[in-house]
Structure 1
């Protein structure tokens, strides 16, 4: 994704800014994945990719192939482009009961994918589609062990009966205060720009 190329070089600045900025009255957390673009990678069937971020859960116990995105094997995955940089603290996922899944996040600093949440097998809670962390409450969130700063998420299956499905993925957080973050590092950016200008001048001689 083209936007990601821009986000990469800002990544280190943004992450440092989040760590260094004093507490700023943060806005209420929202589902930052809502209606964001989803790309299905590998062989995945069933519902449209966009249903994974439409904010709608299937009724508890719904058949795993009814109104869901489903697949076989653990190599396929769904990727959500958040279309911006966010600090995420909690998540919700609704998936087939007797399987385990994994949510990864894009580490902007290192341009790698890292674990955000190991979504557990919920076979003991009943068959079909079960919401994690609470099958009886689609609004209860799983709190991450630590906040993550990212611009994209991936959803994989990691094990179970080899027949997997997911119907909803939500991530709660807030947008990174990018203008404030960049202001902190403005002197460094200006120095870098000056250095590049000098280097370009030297090469043209």
Structure 2
């Protein structure tokens, strides 16, 4: 009986393991496309932020690596001046498939607000606003644990501040390890059923007493 239970537990562990491993930032290994309007990375005439500035890198925000806190806002980030391009300005991240998320983290310029929205299949919904903070340069904001939601697409935008915006990293954490595939569900059900059957076989027969 012990061997049966051990085998059943192994089946269940194998089914759960892929999901547990995904209970982390899933963006770097699961994004399929990332888009933004043209016209980004232009400083206004007379801006003091030319020294140290480098060209915006759109895929920088999905590489899983944070810049040092208080790093210059337009260095090693994706940045834009919303006064010189379309408004509202959206960055859209398409994932390979849908996941169930419960935590978001965004690192961006300190004196601006950043809105993270998700696509439900029929409309965009607000998930997290990374509010402006009184600091300097690139600052990380963490949503903490959120009510779980499922999506395969995020949209990032910014508002307030000086309309110079920068995002250096966006991370999204799958609370349930993503949406399990049908085969994963089948393995989990098989494992639970096998463990239940093994435990029932081990249970001693009840003793009936008559008084």
Equivalent residues of 1:57, 1:167 under 8 A apart: yes
Instruction: Kindly provide the CA deviation profile for residues 14-72 of structure 1, in whole angstroms up to 9, marking residues without a partner as x.
Output: xxxxxxxxxx9552412111152321135323332111100111111111111111112
1:127 is aligned to 2:122: no
1:162 is aligned to 2:155: no
2:26 match? 32
2:4 match? none
Q: Which whole-Å CA distance do the structure 2 matches of 1:71 and 1:84 have between them?
A: 29
Q: 2:128 aligns with which of 105, 113, 117?
A: 117
Q: Which whole-Å CA distance do the structure 1 matches of 2:140 and 2:101 have between them?
A: 19
Q: Which shows bigger deviation, 28-37 or 62-71?
A: 28-37
> Bigger radius of gyration, 1 or 2?
2
Is the partner of 2:101 in helix, strand or coil? strand
> Runs of 5+ in structure 2 lacking a partner?
1-14, 42-54, 187-211
Alignment root-mean-square deviation, CA: 2.2
1:175 is aligned to 2:203: no
Question: Structure 2 length normalisation: TM-score?
Answer: 0.64
**Count of residue pairs the alignment pairs up:** 148
Equivalent residues of 1:38, 1:78 under 8 A apart: yes
Equivalent residues of 2:70, 2:137 under 8 A apart: yes
1:91 match? 104
> Runs of 5+ in structure 1 lacking a partner?
1-23, 134-140, 184-205
- Structure ranking higher in strand proportion: 1
1:193 match? none
